[in-house]
């Protein structure tokens, strides 16, 4: 990708992030996790597909954005079906992403970003699969330790299985080769031994 395109992409991502932060109602300490995860998914996308479309880059940044609004947040406890919870979380994030894109003047991206975010938990077409892989790679490389600490080992085991089994074989291979697995994440190492 040309330097001009990279600069334009970075400007778009900065504007989008500033708009999301301006709207977010969670306090800044609670947002730490969401901000880091969103940026980390963008980072994985940069690594795996540096020439990704603007829509995919914005979708990477906004894919979980409903979680930045605790009052309206879609809550796991309200659903008996985990996949239904994931669907509602994806729909709500897609809706908010459309509003943000309207404000930053990129209505041309609304439809594509909404489609990508709606599919980010499950995949579908190649672009959505890549977003899903980047989301899972971020979880394994960055979020897992926090997750175990916050939710406990039983919930973490289920989450590991969901995040791993949905990935492409190529992305699964990346998780297996992560050097931190055996040292810092014994739960993940145990899971991988059984796969
Ligand atoms: Fe998500
Ligand atoms: Fe995510």
* Cα 62 to averaged position of ligand 1 atoms, centre (Å): 9
Q: Measured in angstroms, how far is the CA atom of residue 164 from the centroid of ligand 1?
A: 14
Dihedral in degrees, nearest 10, Cα atoms 193, 144, 40, 130 = 40
Report how far ligand 2's centroid is from the alpha carbon of 176 (Å).
Answer: 20
In this structure, the number of other CB atoms found within 10 A of the CB of residue 188 comes to 24
Exposure letters 41-72 (e unless 16+ CB within 10 A, then b): bbbbbbeebeebebbbbbbbbbbbbbbbbeee
Å from CA of 4 to ligand 1 middle = 31
CA of 195 to the centre of ligand 2 (A): 23
User: For residue 89, which ligand has an atom nearest its CA?
Assistant: 1
183 alpha carbon to ligand 2 midpoint, in Å? 24
Please count the CA atoms within 13 angstroms of the CA of 134 that sit on its side-chain side. Answer: 33
**Ligand 1 midpoint to CA 27 (Å):** 20
Phi, psi of 24, rounded to the nearest 5 degrees:
-55, 140
For the stretch 14-40, pLDDT in tens is 999 999 999 999 988 879 989 999 999
For 13, residues 6+ apart whose C-beta sits below 8 A from its C-beta are: 42, 57, 58, 61
Under DSSP, the state recorded for 1 is -
Q: Name the pTM for this structure.
A: 0.93
- Report which of residues 42 and 148 the model is more confident about: 42
CB 175 within 8 A of CB 192: yes
Tell how far the Cα of 2 is from the centroid of ligand 2, in angstroms: 28
- Categorize the per-residue pLDDT at 179 as very low, low, confident or very high, splitting at 50, 70 and 90: low
- Residues 77-84: contacts with CB under 8 Å, at least 24 apart: 82/162
Domains by residue range for the chain, with CATH: 3-145 (1.10.3210.10)
Distance (angstroms) between ligand 1 centre and the Cα of 9 equals 22
Determine the distance separating the centroid of ligand 1 and the alpha carbon of 74, expressed in angstroms. 11
How far is the centre of ligand 1, averaged over its atoms, from the C-alpha of 3 (Å)? 31
For the stretch 60-101, pLDDT in tens is 999 999 999 999 899 999 999 999 999 999 999 999 999 999
Nearest to 168 by CA among 115, 122, 112, 114: 122
DSSP per-residue string spanning 109-123 = GHHHHHHHHHTTTT-
State the CB neighbour count (10 A cutoff) for residue 162: 15
């Amino acid at each position: 990708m040309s330097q001009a395109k990279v600069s334009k992409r970075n400007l778009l991502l900065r504007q989008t992030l500033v708009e999301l932060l301006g709207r977010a109602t969670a306090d800044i300490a609670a947002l730490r996790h969401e901000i880091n995860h969103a940026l980390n998914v963008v980072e994985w996308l940069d690594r795996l597909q540096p020439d990704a479309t603007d829509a995919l880059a914005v979708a990477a940044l906004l894919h979980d954005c409903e979680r930045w609004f605790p009052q309206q947040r879609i809550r796991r406890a309200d659903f008996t079906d985990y996949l239904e919870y994931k669907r509602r979380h994806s729909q709500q994030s897609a809706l908010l992403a459309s509003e943000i894109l309207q404000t930053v003047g990129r209505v041309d991206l609304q439809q594509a970003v909404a489609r990508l975010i709606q599919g980010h938990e499950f995949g579908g077409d190649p672009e959505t699969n890549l977003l899903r892989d980047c989301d899972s790679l971020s979880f394994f490389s960055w979020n897992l330790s926090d997750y175990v600490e916050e939710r406990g080992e039983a919930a973490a085991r289920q989450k590991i299985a969901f995040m791993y089994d949905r990935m492409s074989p190529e992305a699964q291979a990346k998780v297996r080769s992560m050097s931190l697995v055996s040292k810092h994440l014994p739960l993940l190492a145990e899971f991988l031994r059984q796969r």
